């Protein structure tokens, strides 16, 4: 078993005579019982060190900096931070940190949104201890860890997109569709934020996503393309 244990280590150079350094991991989940259980599962692997656990992303970026964490195990549905907003916080402020989504949500739109923002792994709660440990070890060395059902849904989405017409190929989330409609009405980011009760920075994120999906360089071009595709009506 010594050789097997050795194969799980990640070589990072010598420190205090030891050529291996544990993978520093942060658990973000708003359920204390889940955090406790995950920490217990990860303690079975000597090369994974849980350096912090938190219930939301409020102090996550600061904690990443203080601990030197390499991997964040992130639930998608936190009490105060919904959907992929938590993932976006990490991607925008700590782009080098690897993120593994650990959630009970397996809806295709969630998976696709997470993939578009750039996750390194997506696991469903209830996965086995070995699978969780393997995912962290794989991601730490540049791999991707997708549970089979998640990978299947992602493949189905990609295949469907390649087979659809251009208009059908452009898919917006409910919030993006709302933002697009308000852009077409000539509203500013501040106006849109006040109308939808979201922050201006969140509006900017949605606008960026809309421009990307329409392959547009600015708002005017985006509205023009969307109108041509029948996605919005110009008044």
pLDDT tens-digit profile of 157-212? 776 665 555 556 678 889 999 999 999 988 999 999 999 999 988 999 999 999 99
pLDDT value of position 5: 41
Mean pLDDT (whole number) for 85-99 = 90
Q: b/e map of 82-101 (b: 16 or more CB within 10 Å)?
A: ebbbbbbbbeeebeebbbbb
Q: What is the band of 1 on the pLDDT scale with cuts at 50, 70, 90?
A: very low
101: helix, strand or coil: strand
Does the pLDDT at position 9 exceed 70?
no
Q: What is the band of 230 on the pLDDT scale with cuts at 50, 70, 90?
A: confident
Q: What is the band of 14 on the pLDDT scale with cuts at 50, 70, 90?
A: very low
pTM here?
0.62
pLDDT tens-digit profile of 111-143? 888 888 888 999 999 888 999 999 999 999 888
CB 71 within 8 A of CB 97: yes
Half-sphere exposure of 164 (CA within 13 A, CB side): 12
pLDDT tens-digit profile of 24-75? 999 999 999 999 999 999 988 888 999 999 999 989 999 999 999 999 999 9
- 26's CB contacts (< 8 A; 6+ apart) are 50, 51, 52, 53, 54, 60, 63, 64, 67, 69, 71, 72, 73
């Amino acid at each position: 078993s010594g050789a097997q244990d050795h194969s799980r280590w990640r070589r990072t150079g010598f420190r205090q005579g030891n050529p291996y350094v544990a993978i520093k991991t942060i658990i973000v989940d708003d359920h204390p019982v889940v955090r406790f259980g995950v920490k217990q599962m990860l303690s079975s692997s000597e090369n994974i060190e849980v350096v912090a656990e938190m219930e939301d992303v409020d102090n996550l970026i600061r904690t990443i900096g203080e601990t030197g964490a390499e991997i964040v195990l992130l639930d998608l549905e936190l009490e105060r931070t919904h959907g992929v907003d938590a993932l976006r916080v990490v991607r925008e402020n700590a782009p080098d940190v690897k993120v593994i989504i650990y959630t009970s949500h397996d809806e295709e739109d969630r998976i696709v949104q997470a993939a578009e923002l750039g996750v390194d792994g997506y696991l469903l709660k209830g996965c086995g201890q070995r699978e969780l440990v393997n995912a962290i070890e794989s991601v730490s060395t540049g791999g991707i860890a997708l549970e089979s059902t998640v990978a299947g849904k992602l493949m189905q989405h990609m295949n469907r997109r390649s087979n659809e017409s251009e208009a059908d190929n452009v898919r917006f989330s409910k919030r993006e569709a709302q933002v697009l409609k308000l852009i077409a009405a000539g509203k500013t980011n501040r106006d849109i934020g006040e109308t939808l009760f979201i922050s201006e920075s969140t509006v900017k994120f949605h606008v960026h996503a809309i421009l990307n999906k329409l392959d547009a360089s600015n708002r005017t071009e985006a509205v023009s393309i969307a109108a041509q595709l029948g996605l919005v009506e110009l008044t």
